[in-house]
Amino acid sequence: MISIFDLFKIGIGPSSSHTVGPMKAAEAFVTALDESQRSRLKRLQVTLLGSLAWTGRGHGTDKAVMLGLSGFSPESVVPDDADRHVGVIAATSKLILKDGTTVHFDPVQDIVFKFDGPTPVHPNTIRFAAFDQDSHELKAETWYSLGGGFVQREGEVSSAEFSSEVPFDYRSAAELIEMCDRSGLSIAQAVLANEAVFADEALVHDRLDRLVAVMFDCIDRGMRTDGELPGGLKVKRRAPSLHARLLMSETRNVRHSIAAMDYASLYAIAVNEENAAGGRVVTAPTNGAAGVIPAVLRYYTDHCEGTSKDGVRIFLLTSAAVGALCKMNASISGAEVGCQGEVGVACSMAAAGLAAALGGSCRQIENAAEIGMEHHLGMTCDPIGGLVQIPCIERNAFGAIKAINAASLALSGDGSHHVTLDQVIRTMRDTGADMQTKYKETSRGGLAVSVPDC
């Protein structure tokens, strides 16, 4: 099983697979060097392959690697200090490890973007090598960034898998619903029971509340921060002006659309503009799709009647069950299955969470998740310039609106429907397998080549 706190992780933008994952892998590599290797260490080299090579520069993978090698983690690094630290490394060609060890590191020479290297295991592959003063290799490892900040060292199982038995060991939505029927528990209660194997409920609730605080702070920060996003596309932040326009419309009592839905779009855009700028976000379940769940959750708290803190927790616990199913049985990596595995999964998770928070039954919740995922099938991942900006920012807004609509449709019925969540997750996996590589986070197809000078 997969923990909710592996699906929802506090980190920095712009990408969970290209920023968060490589930073975690780099930190783990240098941490694992033994005393003898550290005493002889003189140089480090990193090789990026597959999607990490093709869109690594736009996604800040080189920056993430340098931070990770320096001992920073995605949750602990201060976004405002990250660029300064990377600048010092580039200017001095020296990298200081967490224990104070100084090694030579020239980012131009020691971070290799290998575009033609094979990636038979996963399209997000990264290799690390440590050398002594005679260029003899002291240690080498290959890591895979699996999407959503999940990483795996070659030859090991994913770090997100539980090592202990849990009371609800479901592997499909059908199994989960059957377990809930038999136990009399809701989906959120079943997920909480699993988490309680590793931490008491009070701690789980505290960690959930912390995630919500970071999500909502990201929304608020995005709504008040103006300017141009980095990367060269000259994309201007829109969230502050959108927010001002909504406030003005309310003051004048002039409406051309539904205010709550406009706000949901605003919230998603605010988060993803922050993500594109390398700000603090919650991976939910990826950075590229980080705006959907916070936007729908804020829609719930600010625009729905009868909301509560318990409802917020139910939202996150339920959405995590859907995210875990998608990760176990398909993928949440844009480089593996396209954006259907990122914004599509986030939409499915958000739809389930909202339906649960609004009192939906297990079958209505499963129906909401299925609707959200079904209507993202086939969505490609084709970011212009390798940047998580176009079409990613607006795509999150549409994902949030679809999630709200999916929950509404599901709650209007009795939970019965023709297509199951398990079927649509399998379809997403198979569609991703059939999708051409150029449409899966390589920036070699779709909008990335149709609008090259945007």
Q: If you average pLDDT over residues 331-336, what whole number do you get?
A: 95
Residues whose CB falls within 8 Å of the CB of residue 270, separated by 6 or more in sequence, listed in order:
218, 219, 220, 221, 222, 223, 239, 243, 291
The band of 453, judged by pLDDT with boundaries at 50, 70 and 90, is: low
pLDDT tens per residue across span 9-66: 999 999 999 999 999 999 999 999 999 999 999 999 999 999 999 999 989 999 999 9
- Global pTM value: 0.92
User: According to the model, what pLDDT value does residue 303 have?
Assistant: 96
The band of 313, judged by pLDDT with boundaries at 50, 70 and 90, is: very high
The band of 162, judged by pLDDT with boundaries at 50, 70 and 90, is: very low
Q: How many whole angstroms separate alpha carbon 130 and alpha carbon 396?
A: 39
Going by C-alpha positions, the residue among 373, 380, 385, 386 that lies closest to residue 440 is 380
User: According to the model, what pLDDT value does residue 250 have?
Assistant: 83
Phi and psi angles of residue 217, each rounded to the nearest 5 degrees, phi first: -65, -35
Q: How many whole angstroms separate alpha carbon 170 and alpha carbon 178?
A: 9
Residues whose CB falls within 8 Å of the CB of residue 178, separated by 6 or more in sequence, listed in order:
none
Chain-centre distance for alpha carbon 320: 13
pLDDT tens per residue across span 408-443: 999 999 999 999 999 999 999 999 999 999 999 999
Sole residue written with tokens 């020239």? 106
Domains with residue ranges and CATH for the chain: 18-145 (3.30.1330.90), 173-439 (1.10.4100)
**Cβ proximity of 417 and 370 under 8 Å:** yes
